[in-house]
A and B are shown apart, each in its own frame.
Chain A
């Protein structure tokens, strides 16, 4: 966006004050202000953190606000800190010509989150990939099977406690 600030806006309050008219921020505040726990505007990219229970509603809210194209989703393993897994959803708006990142955190105790395939069927393979390589389950996914690794593989290779050379 043309009027995007140059500097970093760290924290929910700073983003709400710095980007009050941003369509995605407005949509999330209008939907459920409490579910938006953190926000960051850094290096020209907006990251909005939402609670994991509400991820499906959150992506539906930004989709209605014009962020119509799901682009990418993946996870990051922050072992040994808790919550351990970070899920990042990259969503593109053809209308605003801008990308946002929705982020959520998962504890290693309960590795399950709602699938967003009901909002974007295109998230199907991406969620399967995260399930395969990180071991995070997606509730409501139509076909949650391994996608890149063989079906009988043991372990989740992209976790940080999985050795780079694999187990031999």
Chain B
């Protein structure tokens, strides 16, 4: 079984190998660590004997900050946690608070949420693919994936006014009606996107360097994946068939038809395959959301929780009072605790929100998939070459913002 513990900084090198082993520091400023991750490696020649991740360089205390904000003020904080998947963060937090409030969300808002969350998944996977390939040495793919990511960011900008820190979802619905041409624009994007995935696949799948660097590297058995709380595409590439979207549906995912890609390869190549297939499935979900997009309001009918429309606020006394009260005092949330899990681009994300009945959350805990995946790094790298560490870090798709919070 795996031991994710022993710090190799304080422990001496393994017995009998004292003279041959070297302790090597990798990061926190290393291009392949996708942020500021520091790895302390004990190596025997080029073989990794032990590996110890040192994190916390990006710790900003977001969970503590949340306790000092009103419920609606937490939404923009969540964007900054996993900064590559802003809408997924917003969705998870809003669903958790809506569960506390037992608030019903209009269908149109729910569908737009699904649509944009799947675009977020594409965004997240595109960055993963580009940077992962770049770590391996295939620099071109990065330029290709960022070309498509740019269009997704433009869509985000059109819908929310922001490219990355969108804060578009609100407790009780959405912040505003999307622009008129948005759905046409998304339609045009996903019409060409499958060809783009073929393009990436043509660049990488047959590439002998890429294949040799990934195949058989970073082995993680299904038992270890579950024991180490690894989730998402990394877990599914180890043959565990579980996806919260299908198995514990939230936000009306039960109305969408999609397959959950699973691979039994248990290596970096399996993770590559699973994520590429996931992108194709996401396109299917986006298409279904566009085809069946219902009409109606985008905010719940809860004047004490949801900000009124701008026009009503300017013309109606009651709306003005509600607006003033929500902005200055927030809204009280009934006491209780909820845990809302969603499937983000990286794996199972979860928000645990505890309310004591006041307008500020008593405790917000964020469960992010990268935090748990990092525990599996040593298991995946032990006994392998030093250069494989780079491939493995890329394959688990970590974002240090979500790990350090």
| A residues whose Cβ falls under 8 Å from a Cβ of B | 42-45, 47, 68-72, 74, 76-77, 88, 90, 92, 94, 97-99, 101, 117, 120-126, 133, 141-143, 145-150, 157-158, 162, 164
**Tally of A-B Cβ pairs under 8 angstroms:** 113
Known: A43-B336, A122-B229. A94 touches B6 (CB 8 A): no
Known interface pairs A43-B100, A121-B1, A122-B229; A148-B55 also in contact (CB < 8 Å)? yes
Closest chain-A Cβ to B234's Cβ sits at a distance in Å of: 13
Query: Is residue B64 contacting chain A, with contact meaning CB distance below 8 A?
Result: yes
B341 with A71: CB separation less than 8 A: yes
- CB 8 Å contact bits of B1-25 with A (1 = contact, 0 = none): 1111111000000000000000000
Contact B248 A69 (CB under 8 A): no
Which of B43-51, B278-286, B348-356 lies at the interface with chain A? B348-356
Residue of B nearest to A141 (CB): B5
Q: What's the minimum C-beta distance from B227 to chain A, rounded to whole angstroms?
A: 5
Q: Are B65 and A164 in contact (CB under 8 A)?
A: yes
* B352 and A122 contacting across the interface, CB-CB below 8 Å: no
Contacts of B339 in A (CB 8 A): 45, 72, 88, 90, 99, 101
Are A142 and B362 within 8 A (Cβ)? no
- Which residue among B227, B248, B365 has the maximum number of chain A CB atoms within 10 Å of its CB? B365
Q: Which of A44, A72, A97, A122 contacts B227 (CB 8 A)?
A: A122
B residues apposed to A, CB below 8 Å: 1-7, 55-56, 59, 61, 63-65, 67-68, 99-100, 102, 226-231, 240, 242, 247-248, 336-339, 341, 348, 350, 352, 354, 362-363, 365, 367, 371-372, 374-375, 404-405
Interface contact A43-B229, CB-CB below 8 Å? no
Chain B residues with Cβ below 8 Å from A126 are 229, 371
A164 to B61, CA, bound (A): 9
**Chain B residues near A101 (CB-CB < 8 A):** 337, 339
Out of A42, A70, A99, which one reaches B229, CB within 8 Å?
A: A70
Contact, CB under 8 Å: A164 / B338: no
Complex contacts, B365 vs chain A, CB 8 Å: 72, 74
Docked-complex contact A150 and B99, CB < 8 angstroms: no
Find out whether the CB atom of A125 lies under 8 angstroms from the CB atom of B102: no
On whether the beta carbons of A125 and B248 are closer than 8 Å, the reply is no
CA of A99 to CA of B250, assembled, Å? 13
Q: Are B362 and A76 in contact (CB under 8 A)?
A: yes
Which of B5, B102, B227, B247 makes the CB contact (< 8 A) with A142?
B5
Say whether, besides A69-B226, A69-B229, A164-B64, A124 and B367 are in contact (CB < 8 Å). no
| Chain B nearest CB, measured from A38 CB (Å) | 13
Indicate if the CB atoms of A45 and B338 lie closer than 8 Å. Answer: yes
Q: Are B350 and A121 in contact (CB under 8 A)?
A: no
Report the bound CA distance from A120 to B1 in whole Å: 11
Sampled A-B contacts (8; CB under 8 Å):
A71-B229, A71-B367, A94-B242, A121-B1, A121-B228, A142-B3, A146-B56, A148-B55
Task: Chain B residues near A69: list those with CB within 8 A.
Answer: 226, 229, 242
Residue of A nearest to B59 (CB): A148
Contact of A99 with B248 at beta-carbon distance under 8 Å, contacts A47-B337, A158-B64 already known: yes
Supposing A72-B367, A164-B65 touch, asked if A122 and B350 sit within 8 A by C-beta, the answer is no
Contacts A72-B350, A157-B64 given; does A97 touch B228 at CB 8 Å: no
Tell me, in angstroms, the Cα distance from A98 to B248 when the chains sit together. Answer: 7
The smallest beta-carbon distance between A40 and chain B, in angstroms, is 9
Residues of B within 8 A of A68 (CB): 226
Question: How far does the Cβ of A114 sit from chain B's closest Cβ, in whole Å?
Answer: 16
Across-interface contacts of B375 in A (CB, < 8 A):
121-122, 124-125
Q: Is the CB of A121 within 8 A of B227?
A: yes
Given contacts A71-B350, A143-B6, 13 further A-B contacts (CB under 8 A): A72-B365, A74-B363, A76-B363, A90-B367, A98-B248, A117-B5, A121-B375, A122-B372, A126-B229, A143-B7, A146-B56, A148-B56, A162-B64
A143 to B229, CA, bound (A): 17
Q: Which residues of A contact B67 (CB under 8 A)?
A: 164
Q: How far is the CA of A158 from the CA of B2 in the complex (A)?
A: 30
* Complex interface: chain A residues within 8 A of B3 (CB): 121, 142
Cβ–Cβ < 8 Å partners of B6 in chain A: 142-143
| B197 to A: closest C-beta gap in Å | 29
From B1, B68, B240, B350, A164 is in contact (CB under 8 Å) with B68
CB distance from B400 to the nearest CB of A (A): 11
Bound Cα distance from A98 to B244, whole angstroms: 10
Check A125/B372 contact, CB under 8 A, given A42-B336, A43-B100. yes
